[in-house]
Amino acid sequence: MTDEQDNPVRIGLIGYGFSGKTFHAPLIRSVAGLELCAVASSDAGKVNADFPGMAVHADPHALIAADAIDLVVIATPNETHAPLARAVIAAGKHVVIDKPFTLDLDEARGLLALADDRGVLLSVFHNRRWDSDFLTVRAAIDEAIVGDVTHFESHFDRFRPDVRDRWRERSEPGSGVWYDLGPHLVDQALLLFGLPDAVQASIATQRPGAMTDDWAHVVLSYGERRVILQASMLVAGGVDRFTVHGTAGSMTKHYADRQETQLLGGMRPGDAGWGEDLDPLVIHAANGQREQRALPGDQRQYYRGIAAAVRGTAKNPVEPVEALAVMAVVESAFLSAKTGATTALALTAPERDAATRALSSATVQI
């Protein structure tokens, strides 16, 4: 028996809605060295239908207090992230928070300071770093296939014309498409290009009956380079996931990573075909067009990194200061959309330096 098998990291999952059920539980259970021991949910029947015999707590604080838990994963409505994380850290336990990290920079700063004081691991579930589409585009940029990037466009669009009765679409703190999909877009952009000089945004509510934002267009400026981040709930198709223009050509990646679709279809992480992407990267250059095979995605790598980080054998796969930087961009975009002005990131000089170092050294294993 290995130490991972004898002494797994014992995990408690708070929340068994879409994110907890679709992503966290299957990914945790697929990674050696991790053991999902308990879930906090108001629907024990839903949990036990998937995991017979799983310990279910109606009160998340009962799960946090359980001696048999080493690490708590928070997959609850966004406005509860910070208070629940504070309780976990105060209990001296490691914590993973689903994105968005918090609702604002002040909450994020408070969690960083508390985790540092208590000496526990604090990480944010930026799982889209391990998507096939992003990994493929990142590798091509690193190889300078299109030269120096001058224009980068990233779309996270869906077609959901009917407003649904769920917290993400109600008029509540932390709801809306920019809080939901924006952190994915921002995190990927920061990994590629670092902190922007300025942020300009337009955010709208377009669907009849919608109570919160469902369209966002955000432009990050890096000198003369422009990075465009777009999220919408009213795009039925015809838009590339990524478009990249540079001094030596252009490239497009049409379809998004399939892991979410695979999980919703009942595939387990690691099954045959897991993370495979048959949609190629299309490269346009002066001498014509060619295709390059897409790299596979594997979001299990996030939790493999967590297992290693808790054991002290690897760095945190998403350092909290990296998530702090994401929240700075998210917050700046909201401010820009409200005022109509271009905004700068509200980070201190030490925060900028720390975030720059962390982002530049971040590795995404595949």
| Tens digits of residue pLDDT in 318-356 | 999 999 999 999 999 999 999 999 999 999 999 999 999
Are 197 and 174 in the same domain?
Answer: yes
| Alpha carbon distance 12, 70 (integer Å) | 8
Question: Tokens standing for 1?
Answer: 């028996």
pLDDT digits (tens, 9 = 90+) for 17-42: 999 999 999 999 999 999 999 999 99
Query: What angle do the packed helices 105-118 and 320-339 form, to 10 degrees?
Result: 170
| Alpha carbon distance 120, 90 (integer Å) | 10
306 within a domain of the structure (yes/no): no
E-strand stretches of 17-70: 34-40, 55-57
Q: If you count them, how many residues does the chain have?
A: 366
315 within a domain of the structure (yes/no): no
Are 94 and 65 in the same domain?
Answer: yes
Give bridge partners of residue 222 from the DSSP assignment.
225
First to last CA, the chain: 26
301 within a domain of the structure (yes/no): no
| Alpha carbon distance 259, 276 (integer Å) | 8
Which pTM was predicted? 0.95
Of the pLDDT bands very low, low, confident and very high (cuts 50, 70, 90), residue 286 is confident
Of the pLDDT bands very low, low, confident and very high (cuts 50, 70, 90), residue 186 is very high
Residue pair 56/34 in contact (Cβ under 8 Å)? The answer is no
Number of domains comprising the chain:
2
Residue pair 111/122 in contact (Cβ under 8 Å)? The answer is yes
141 within a domain of the structure (yes/no): yes
Residue 172's domain is classified under what CATH number?
3.30.360.10
| Alpha carbon distance 147, 285 (integer Å) | 10
Are 273 and 154 in the same domain?
Answer: yes
| Alpha carbon distance 273, 277 (integer Å) | 9
